[in-house]
Amino acid sequence: MTQPAAPASDALVLQGACAALSGKRVLHDLTLQLQERRIGIIGRNGSGKSTLLRLLAGLIAPETGSVRVAGLDPARARKEMLGQIGILFQNPDHQILFPTADEELAFGLIQMGLPKAQAQAQVRALLAEHGRSHWQGVPVSSLSQGQRHWLCLQAVLLMQPRTILLDEPFAGLDLPTQARLARAFAALPQRLITITHDPASLAGSDRVIWIEAGRVAADGPPAAVLPQFESEMHRLGGLDADADLPG
């Protein structure tokens, strides 16, 4: 019998992982080896997608089973994870910690152990490269939603993580901003794991995982998974009652 291939050294591996929130189990016995370059996670509201992202990022620990990123437990190896996993939350305001744009950009680098002056120099160079030197000292509160998204993305990229987790990256952005962001994502060398409700945005992925009520409903190439997902969503959309919304 042939052995399954060993995971890539920077793979994200779930083994029988369950996760609970406030005592309620929301992810059930997930076993996944995530190593493709573009992975989409799709599913209905409340299916457990954000919880899966939080589990992969080590923001929550599994109730049972294990999560490993590059062989490490992401909930414990917090410092090592800075170079492994970057996360972009749906709402930049859930991510931004500092009052000014440059402080926000420098934070991750300082966390990684870079002396403050060096981190600040990298931030100045980045802002200059993007024609945004005037953002030095600018209050985050004065930036638009799209500009805050850009800020969060750059803060993550400065840390050069191997994998970036994106939670509904296009939600609330106008079409030109979405198109610009999509081009920026497409050009990234990193592995991207994207959560979305929107099947169209995953058409070019290497792999799509459909999560339903905390379990994998389908897992494969987009051409196989997305039509199944869309047909089920159309069927559910045709029902009048929304009593089947997961509670």
Which of residues 6, 9, 45, 113 is near ligand ATP by CB under 6 A? 45
40 near ligand ATP (CB under 6 A): no
Q: By C-alpha distance, which of 215, 243, 148 is closest to 14?
A: 215
Binding part of the chain for ligand ATP, among 40-48, 61-69, 121-129, 135-143 by CB under 6 A, reads 40-48
The one-character DSSP state at 100 is: B
DSSP 72: B
The answer to the question of residue 244 lying near ligand ATP (CB under 6 A) is no
Distance separating alpha carbons of residues 193 and 43, to the nearest angstrom: 14
* Residue 222 CA, distance from chain mean position: 18
Among 17, 39, 43, 55, binds ligand ATP (CB under 6 A): 43
Is 21 a binding residue for ligand ATP by CB under 6 A? The answer is: yes
Q: Which stretch binds ligand ATP (CB under 6 A): 29-37, 45-53, 78-86, 180-188?
A: 45-53
CB nearer to ligand ATP: pick between 24 and 94: 24
Options 49, 149, 191, 207; binder of ligand ATP; rule CB under 6 A: 49
Distance CA 86, CA 163 (A): 6
Distance, in Å, from the CA atom of 115 to the CA atom of 106, rounded to the nearest integer, reads 10
Nearer to ligand ATP, 155 or 195 (CB): 195
Our finding on whether 246 is near ligand ATP (CB under 6 A) is yes
Q: How far is it, in rounded angstroms, from Cα 117 to Cα 115?
A: 6
Q: What is the 3-state secondary structure (H, E, C) of 191-227?
A: EEEEEECCHHHHCCCCEEEEEECCEEEEEECHHHHHH
Tell me the sheet residues that pair with 61: none
Which of 11, 14, 51, 95 forms a contact with ligand ATP (CB under 6 A)?
Answer: 51
With CB under 6 A as the contact rule, the residue among 14, 17, 26, 225 that binds ligand ATP is 26
Size of the site for ligand ATP (CB under 6 A): 13
Which of 50, 84, 194, 205 is close enough to bind ligand ATP by CB under 6 A?
50
Please tell me the total number of residues recorded for the chain in this structure: 247
Rounded CA separation 90/12 (Å):
21
- Supply 84's token pair: 């492994």
Q: Which of 17, 35, 47, 55 binds ligand ATP (CB under 6 A)?
A: 47
Q: Which residues bind ligand ATP (CB under 6 A)?
A: 21-22, 24, 26, 43, 45-51, 246
